[in-house]
Structure formats: C-alpha cells, structure tokens
Structure 1
Amino acid sequence: EGKYLERHLQYNYTHDEKGRVSAKEILKWNQDNSRFEKLYCLNFSYTDNEVNVEYVAWNSKAGDYTNVKAKAVYQMNENGMNYMAYNWNEKDNSWNLVTEHNATNWNSALLANR
C-alpha cells in the first residue's frame, strides 16, 4: 500500500474544429463498484475577445449534465484581462456576479522605470 498510484479522477477532453478545448469532463473513482462515475463538466465557448467556462454538475436522474452551477468569463482588452465569476441563482433563474478582477498589462502600468 502507498507505493503505487491509485485511481482518483479521470479527465475526458473534447476539442472544437480549431483544436481548442470545448469540454472537460471530470469523473471520480467509485471504490464500491470499481468504476469511474461522472461528476461534472466544464464547457468552454470562445469569441474573439472572450472565453466562457461553464461548470455543470452531473444529474444522475436525468442522465446528463443539466445542473448548471457556475461560470467564469475571461475578457481580453487593450489593458489586459477582466475575470468575472458567477453563480447560478435557481430561485431567480439568473446569474449572480460573485467576483470580478482586472489584470492589466503590467509593462505599461509601471510607475517608474529603472
């Protein structure tokens, strides 16, 4: 025991026509039945200046990834990148902004030169 790698998680990737990741499926090892079971999926969508990552949990009753939980949006602009994280509000049937971060191009943001 402890000398060998043990099964824990399995990752399955799907790519779009441009070779970018469009989905990352995460499965967790179930020791009781010795099988990997679906856990959640990250769905990626792309525009010219934006990447959306949606977190969808596995719904065993529906047999599909239908339980949308959260998403992250990465927006590129002339100053760097903006990151926004959202949680799904089932009661209001809408996205709630949880956090937002701006990352600037640090080369042009320096206050002093050497």
Structure 2
Amino acid sequence: MKTTSLFKAVALVAIMIASVLNSEVKAQDGFITNQVMNGELVASKTIFKQDGSYLRNHMQYTFTYDDQNRLVSKQASKWDGVKDAWVPYFKMTYQYSDNEITMNYARWNESHKAYDEAVQKSVYELNDENMPTAYKAYKQDNRNKSDWTLVDHKQMDFTTNLLAIAR
C-alpha cells in the first residue's frame, strides 16, 4: 500500500514538474506524441511537430527508474535539424528519502559536453501517506555553487487540491 501511495505521489510530482518546465511541448494542435513502454512504465517519449502532412522531430525524453519503479531521471533532447540529430537539453534527477523527494534540474553545457551541476532544486515534503504537503524551490548561487537560495515555498492542502481536481 505504501509503495502504491509513493508511486502516486511521485507521479503527481512528475506531472507538476513536467507541466512547469516543459511549457513549449504542451498538448497543442500540431504536436503528436509517441511513447515507448517498458511494461507499465514509460521508457521514452518522442514529440513530433506536425507540419502539414509531415511529422518533424521536436523533443525526446528518456526515463529511468529504480528497483521500486520510482522515477530517478528524465533526460530531454531537442531535435537539431542542421545536425540532423538529437541534442541534449536538460536532465532531471530524483532522490527519495522517508518523507521527501528532491528533484535536481541541470542544463546541457555544449562547451563541456556534459550536464552542468544542478542549477535548480525542488524539495517535496511528504506526509505519512506519501502525499506532498509542502514544496520548496531553490536556485543555485552563481558565485558559490554549493549555496542554494530559497525562491519559493508553498504548503499544500492536498484534500483541497483533490476536491478542486475532482470538480
């Protein structure tokens, strides 16, 4: 039961994060999505942009999970028509503890050919049923890479949110 609740909480957090960070690939007219499944888990997702009767590569996501089927990373790539190849864009990693989920966001650094250290971090506090109760967003201090600045903090009333969604 706890694993199911944790999975639901992780799914909810992933959906919230995806909706915020991926505004350019919202479900709109002109975009087609293809998902590759690994059992019940999404292994990858490719977003195509519809151009008349043609589909053009747009974004690609790959997902990795731990042995408890919890999302541990999401990597995004953008299509580069000049290079005719997928180019890394960002990577989100997830860490789980008893009452928290920490998500780190890092952008691809083309000059280093690697993901930079996390530049944004979100921490979701969970209650005993593994449902989010608070959200904290941090940005990395540009001068001192080990310092994080709190930029947003929200307490969540999950019952109110569920009632709002149900309507």
- Residue of structure 2 equivalent to 1:96: 149
The unaligned stretches of length 5 or more in structure 1 are: 108-114
Q: CA deviation at 1:105?
A: 4.1
Note the 1:3-14 alignment, pairs <5 A: 3-14=53-64
RMSD: 1.9
Kindly provide the amino acid, as one letter, of the partner of residue 96 in structure 1. T
**Partners of 1:62 and 1:80 in 2: CA distance:** 36
Name the structure 2 match of 1:111: none
* Pair 1:20-2:73 in alignment: no
How far apart, in 1, do the equivalents of 2:92 and 2:132 lie?
24
Q: 1:97 to 1:15 in 2, by over 3 A?
A: same
- Matches of residues 23-34 of structure 1 in structure 2 within 5 Å? 23-34=73-84
Structure 2 unaligned runs (5+)? 1-50, 161-167
Residues 73-100 of structure 1: CA deviation (Å, up to 9, x unaligned): 1001369610001111121331110101
Aligned pair count? 107
Distance 1:105 1:4, change over 3 A: same
State which of 99, 111, 130 in structure 2 corresponds to 1:49: 99
Counterpart residue number, 1:59: 109
Query: What's the TM-score once normalised by structure 1's chain length?
Result: 0.83
Percent identity for Structure 1 against Structure 2: 28
Tell me: CA distance 1:80–1:104, structure 2 relative to 1, closer, same or farther (3 Å).
Answer: farther
TM-score (norm: length of structure 2): 0.58
Measured after TM superposition, the shift of residue 5 of structure 1 is 3.1
Distance 1:2 1:49 in 2: 48
Deviation at 1:13, TM superposition (A): 0.9
1:27 aligned partner, one-letter code: S
Return structure 1 stretches of 4+ with deviation > 4 angstroms: none
Greater fraction strand: 1
The secondary structure found in structure 2 opposite 1:106 is helix
Cα 1:54/1:80, change in 2 over 3 Å: closer
Aligned equivalent of 2:135: 83
Distance 2:54 2:102 in 1: 37
Which of these two proteins has the greater Rg computed from alpha carbons? 1
